[in-house]
Amino acid sequence: MTTVVFTPPHVQKRLPLAALLALALAGFITILTEALPAGLLPQISAGLGVSEALAGQLVTVYALGSLLAAIPLIAITQSIRRRSLLLLAIIGFVIANTVTTFSTSYTLTIVARFLAGVAAGLLWALLAGYASRMVPEHLKGRAIAIAMVGTPLALSIGVPAGTLLGNLAGWRVCFGIMSLLALMLIVWVRLKVPDFAGQATGKRLSLGRVFTLPGIRPVLFVVLAFVLAHNILYTYITAFLADAGMAERIDLVLLVFGITALLGIWIIGVLVDRYLQALTIASIALFALAALVLGLAGDVPVAVYSAVAVWGLAFGGAATLFQTGLAKAAGAAADVAQSMLVTAWNLAIAGGGIVGGVLLSSFGSGSFSLTLLVLLAGSFIVVWCARD
């Protein structure tokens, strides 16, 4: 049996990059598993013999699994050793993506996607707390940033590359590759990621107690409002660009977003441990500026590209900011608090589709800007009032 000798945080001087990058790959697999079907709906619908609308539910049930599973799973597994729990989540991806690769049944594929969502809910609730446990206090934000880098990489590189590969070699090949990546990750985690004990029964905090800890509710509110604003625009960006006469430039617009999102997570990773609240305020303000420009000059291509670049910069490091803030507020109860963040994040994703759809059908994409500004104003006020 391989044993990882881990230096306690108070004497550790360098970031454990091998372990943190393993967590980043876990996040990459999670996001890619979630988002890839959206780019391959025609192929998946043909392969499973269903309509594209039904194929689209592969994304919906994944989000539903994450939404329903994160809080209860973390609550009932607080005593389990953390590496065992992390490996269990990764094994869930191996099983789900392998079933998806070979299944010819729509029902079986839906069940597999729900299982993948459950695994995602568990994994997302673990990542930030796991990364922060590996390092001393002054490096927690940077460690979380590295662990979260898989998210923008999956969105900016993984999904486009997976879509291209799916078009060339078939959608099943993509899910098979993700299963292989997850198998490799199991070995990596076992060899390089340190283990941590679960919480003893007497030291656990109830969900209600964690929710009422100072700082938890403000962070969760900001997550809900900020991510809701993001998903209203991101979910219906194609419709927005079509109204602006830029429908054929969707790929370039999303590429700009992805590149600046990577830049954003790098900037946040370097500075988050020293300027957490200032960076959070800046991210909200930049997103609001982008929303304002899109509202005032959404039919001017240069303005749209500039606004999308600023939006990507603001959003890229948002997950790191929110998870670092929550980890600092929750302390030893970080995993439980992060499960609440996962739930709030997924509610915002679902809400973005619903609210954005209502706005689009009732008032048109021109109504997005004002709605985003209202949500971001609320976020700004909460963070400003909570500043040190």
User: C-alpha distances in angstroms, 314 versus 84, 306, 321, 348?
Assistant: 35, 12, 11, 17
> What confidence tens digit (pLDDT) does each residue in 250-270 have?
778 878 888 898 899 889 888
CATH 1.20.1250.20 assigned to 207-385? yes
Tell me the whole-structure pTM to 2 decimals. 0.79
Asked whether this chain's domains 17-194 and 207-385 adopt the same fold, the reply is yes
Task: Report phi then psi at 14, rounded to 5.
Answer: -120, 155
User: C-alpha distances in angstroms, 16 versus 153, 186, 371?
Assistant: 20, 18, 42
Question: Is 15 exposed, middle or buried, given 0-12, 13-18 or 19+ CB atoms closer than 10 A?
Answer: middle
Reported as a pLDDT band with limits 50, 70 and 90, residue 316 is: confident
Unique residue bearing structure tokens 């909460």: 382
Unique residue bearing structure tokens 């963040």: 341
Contact 149, 258 (CB under 8 A): no
Amino acid at 209: R
Reported as a pLDDT band with limits 50, 70 and 90, residue 7 is: very low
What are the structure tokens assigned to 6, written together?
Answer: 């881990």
Reported as a pLDDT band with limits 50, 70 and 90, residue 328 is: confident
> Does the pLDDT value for residue 9 go beyond 50?
no
- The CATH class given to the 17-194 domain equals mainly alpha
> Does the pLDDT value for residue 10 go beyond 70?
no
> Does the pLDDT value for residue 4 go beyond 70?
no
> What confidence tens digit (pLDDT) does each residue in 233-247 have?
887 887 888 888 887
The residues, any chain, with a CB within 8 Å of residue 361's CB and separated by 6 or more, are none
> Does the pLDDT value for residue 222 go beyond 80?
yes
Contact 317, 264 (CB under 8 A): yes
What are the structure tokens assigned to 93, written together?
Answer: 């991806």
Contact 92, 101 (CB under 8 A): no
* Ranges of each domain in the chain: 17-194, 207-385
> Does the pLDDT value for residue 183 go beyond 80?
yes
Reported as a pLDDT band with limits 50, 70 and 90, residue 5 is: very low
> Does the pLDDT value for residue 3 go beyond 80?
no
**For the chain, how big is the Rg over CA atoms in Å?**
20
Question: Is 213 exposed, middle or buried, given 0-12, 13-18 or 19+ CB atoms closer than 10 A?
Answer: middle
Question: Exposure pattern of 172-189 as b/e (b: 16+ CB <10 Å)?
Answer: bebbbbbbebbbebbebb
